């Protein structure tokens, strides 16, 4: 009976995760009062994106839709969904990679969007903790990422789990960020980068920059009080927790994989 209850809870959480009900739509009015441009908030996993999405969605009273299949590090845009986003002025938060197919579709339907990043060294530490949470509450979500964390992974110590995630995910995080930088430099997409660190520094200024990018007056953005808690995938929200959790060897391992250009472009320290 206990296993059945746990499975039911996991299935329910997965449904809520897929439909975005949990994070975005419960408190939103049924009718969107104002028409805004379609907003794509494309994010590196574990960069505060669930909380930020809900904050913007409620602040603008804008409908949130799912535009991608929902996998990482490779994902794919759902064509009818991006059409709705573009034509009906909705909001979507995704983890889309800059694959030729995704770029082709974006150029046609949504050539202006946000790419949101976080120091990948901190992002993967957050991923380690979220894997453990998913295992307990909604193990199906684990299969949205590749490679999947198996039972063997969950028997490891925290240090060994971090080793595994660094080996299997950190290169993909770096590739994801570099790929979007390259896409921006080509010039046929209008991409604005935002960072989790800027969000922590000044939340209002962070939202104002996004709205300015979309030519939306900040006066249209309502103040709403949303708690930063686990229901929105918000854990500690620290910038450099990894420096105190990773071993010295792990710190050197990840920092050695960080191209110098990332330290020039974003507010991250070696």
R_g of the chain, CA atoms, integer Å: 18
**Helix or strand run (H / E) with residue 195:** strand 190-195
Q: Distance (Å, rounded) from C-alpha 41 to C-alpha 5?
A: 35
Q: What per-residue confidence (pLDDT) applies to 16?
A: 45
Note the pLDDT of residue 260. 98
Position 107 scores a pLDDT of 98
Q: Where are the beta strands (DSSP E) in 1-158?
A: 39-43, 91-94, 112-117
pLDDT of res. 237? 64
Q: How far apart are CA 225 and CA 49, in angstroms?
A: 16
Tens of pLDDT, residues 54-65: 999 999 999 999
Evaluate whether 162 touches 250 at the Cβ level (below 8 Å): yes
pTM score of the predicted model: 0.86
Question: What structural domains and CATH numbers belong to the chain?
Answer: 2-265 (3.40.50.300)
- 193-209 residue pLDDT tens: 999 999 999 999 999 99
Task: Please work out, in degrees rounded to the nearest 5, the angle formed at the alpha carbon of residue 70 by the alpha carbons of 64 and 155.
Answer: 125
Residue 20 φ/ψ region, left for φ over 0, alpha for ψ in the -120 to 50 degree band, beta for the rest: left
Rounded Cα distance between 113 and 55, Å, is 17
How far apart are alpha carbons 60 and 218 in whole angstroms? 10
pLDDT for 236: 60
Kindly report the length of the chain.
270
Kindly state the tokens that stand for 49. Answer: 């994106």
Q: What is the sign, positive or negative, of the torsion defined by CA atoms of 236, 152, 74, 54? A: negative
Within the chain, which residues score under 50 in pLDDT?
Answer: 4-31, 232-234
Can you say how many angstroms the Cα of residue 31 is from the centroid of all Cα atoms in its chain?
26
Give the DSSP letter string of 19-50: HTIIIIITTS-SS--S----EEEEE-SSSSHH
């Amino acid at each position: 009976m206990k296993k059945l209850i746990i499975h039911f809870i996991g299935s329910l959480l997965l449904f809520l995760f897929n439909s975005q009900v949990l994070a975005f739509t419960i408190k939103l009015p049924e009718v969107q009062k104002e028409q805004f441009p379609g907003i794509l908030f494309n994010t590196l996993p574990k960069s505060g994106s669930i909380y930020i999405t809900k904050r913007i969605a409620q602040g603008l009273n804008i409908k949130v839709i799912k535009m991608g299949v929902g996998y990482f590090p490779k994902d794919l845009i759902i064509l009818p969904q991006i059409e709705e986003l573009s034509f009906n002025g909705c909001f979507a938060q995704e983890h889309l990679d800059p694959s030729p197919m995704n770029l082709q579709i974006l150029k046609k339907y949504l050539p202006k969007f946000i790419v949101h990043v976080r120091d990948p060294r901190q992002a993967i530490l957050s991923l380690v903790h979220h894997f453990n949470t998913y295992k307990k509450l909604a193990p199906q979500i684990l299969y949205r990422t590749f490679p999947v964390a198996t039972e063997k992974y969950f028997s490891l110590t925290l240090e060994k789990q971090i080793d595994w995630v660094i080996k299997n995910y950190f290169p993909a995080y770096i590739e994801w960020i570099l790929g979007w930088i390259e896409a921006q430099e080509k010039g046929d997409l209008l991409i604005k980068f935002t960072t989790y660190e800027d969000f922590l520094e000044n939340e209002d200024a962070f939202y104002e920059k996004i709205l300015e990018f979309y030519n939306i007056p900040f006066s249209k953005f309502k103040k709403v009080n949303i708690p930063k808690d686990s229901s929105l995938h918000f854990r500690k929200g620290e910038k450099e927790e990894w420096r105190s959790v990773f071993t010295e060897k792990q710190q050197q391992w990840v920092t050695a994989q960080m191209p110098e250009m990332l330290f020039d472009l974003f507010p991250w320290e070696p």
